[in-house]
Amino acid sequence: MKAPILEENKCSILIAEYATGHVFKTDLTIFSKGQNDKEVYQLFDNFYDAESFIFNLIKSKPEFECSIYNHKGEHLKTYDITGERKFTKND
């Protein structure tokens, strides 16, 4: 599953269960193989709106984690109840 390619400066987010990594659709129901990928990514006009949505979601539903992708489909950040998750690069 790849993040959508969007207009410049727009963002998308992917929601997953923090404990298991299971991906959830925009209506917060679990995504199953064979379902439409377009139901997975929530789209936002800018990074600020995406990040605000994530902070509010995680505050009210700490069982989730969220990843933000830029307009090119590149991963920007992942947040969970502990804050921003840092990843190491495998060179």
Task: Give the span between the Cα atoms of 4 and 58, in whole angstroms.
Answer: 22
* 7-22: pLDDT as tens digits: 999 999 999 999 999 9
pLDDT of residue 91: 40
For the cut 60, the answer to whether the pLDDT of residue 90 exceeds it is no
Q: Considering the entire predicted model, what is its pTM?
A: 0.89
32-88 pLDDT, tens digit per residue, is 988 888 899 999 999 999 999 999 999 999 999 999 999 999 999 999 999 998 876
